Amino acid sequence: MRSKLVIFYLGLFVLVGLSSCHVIKPLEMSKVDSVKIEDFKSGELTLKLIVKVKNPNCLNFKIKDNHLDLSINNLDVGIAKVKEAIVIRKYSDDSHEFLVGVTPSKMTLIGVVGLIGILRDKPVELKVKGEIQVKTLGISRKYPVEIKEKIDLKELGKNFLN
């Protein structure tokens, strides 16, 4: 009798857990507030992106994995990977700091540095496209991300170029 009761509750728990997966709404990454070059070591460019993220769910999420392609004025910069896990609080609409590592090719790096030099006084279009993987309560989901934002390059290399 006791084992049937355990199986019943375990089955009920699994059923509720699986059915709640359909209720989870996607996170919305809507705006890049700022971009700064933090470091450039061993062929990896470290950028700090401040991104507006809205979580309409009653659960906290942790962003651990992603595949994001970065481009400036349609010039591919490289693939960005989140370096540190980011916690997105429930029912929030806040800006979050994404520390990402980008491994650009040598030709891309030369092109981007040249572009920064030429267009330093003009805003450029930053494009972030790809997907992020979020996790909560053992549930993992991937959401597409596509952000196009005009940014001012005066702030981009302030820490790095001066």
Q: Are 154 and 143 in contact, with CB atoms under 8 Å apart?
A: no
pLDDT of residue 5 exceeding 90: no
DSSP string of 58-79, one letter each residue: SS-EEEEEEEEEEEETTEEEEE
At residue 151, the pLDDT reads: 79
pLDDT band, very low/low/confident/very high, at 154 (cuts 50, 70, 90): low
pLDDT in tens, 62-96: 988 888 888 877 878 788 888 888 999 999 999 99
CB 132 within 8 A of CB 143: yes
Beta bridge partners of residue 78, listed in sequence order: 70
> In this model, does residue 157 exceed pLDDT 60?
no
At 105-120, the pLDDT tens digits run: 654 665 665 555 555 6
Q: What is the pLDDT of residues 20-64, one digit of tens each?
A: 545 778 888 888 888 888 887 877 888 888 889 999 988 888 988
Q: What kind of architecture, by CATH, is found in domain 25-161?
A: Sandwich (2.60)
Residue among 128, 102, 103 at smallest CA distance from 32: 128
Token pair for 70: 């970065």
Domain spans in the chain, listed from the N-terminal domain onward: 25-161
- Which tokens is 87 given? 């916690």
Phi and psi torsions of 11, nearest 5°: -65, -40
Average pLDDT over residues 7-23: 64
